[in-house]
Amino acid sequence: MPLDETNNESYRYLRSVGNTWKFNVEDLHPKMLSRLYKRFDTFDLDSDEKMEMDEVLYWPDRMRQLVNATDEQVEKMREAVRVFFFNKGVDPVDGLTRENWVEANRVFAEAERERERRGEPSLIAMLSNAYYDVLDDDGDGTDDDDELKTKMKAFAV
């Protein structure tokens, strides 16, 4: 099923502010296409070619295993992941198919650019801040070597 404002939150947002942007796969470099599919496969834990909200909510739980995250911190991360991936196109009931992942990713990026132009909060920043708050063990606002290593493990980089 093609993505549009009836089945994708980022398209819905763009249309609500008068932005008529539409995805064209021809505008995407083949290397980027390959990278996006590789990232999808990282999130698709059961390899069924469908990313589900439960699969992406695994990542905050992984943080609990890697650092001494409190229940409150993990719940904050879970909520940030939920909002972020819902806007990325992961429907809480139907998930997001691999076939639609690249378009969903690109329309999300366009929605983020629109938010920036309009001075609205970034969903990328919201998600990043939720993770950084947990990873910044000493609370100094920077990543030291150990914190950076933990972050790399958490994101499977």
Q: How far apart are CA 50 and CA 97, in angstroms?
A: 4
Count the neighbouring beta carbons within 10 Å of the beta carbon of residue 109: 14
Report pLDDT digits (tens) over 94-131: 999 999 999 999 999 999 999 999 999 999 999 988 88
Whether the predicted pLDDT of 80 surpasses 80:
yes
pLDDT of 38 reads 96
Q: How far apart are CA 131 and CA 154, in angstroms?
A: 10
Q: What is the DSSP string of the chain?
A: ----TTT-HHHHHHHHTT------GGGS-HHHHHHHHHHHHHH-TT-SSEE-HHHHTHHHHHHHHHS---HHHHHHHHHHHHHHHHHHT-BTTTBEEHHHHHHHHHHHHHHHHHHHHTTPPPHHHHHHHHHHHHH-TT-SSS--HHHHHHHHHHTT-
Report pLDDT digits (tens) over 17-30: 999 999 999 999 99
Q: Are 119 and 26 in contact (CB under 8 A)?
A: no
Whether the predicted pLDDT of 157 surpasses 70:
no
Q: Are 88 and 101 in contact (CB under 8 A)?
A: no
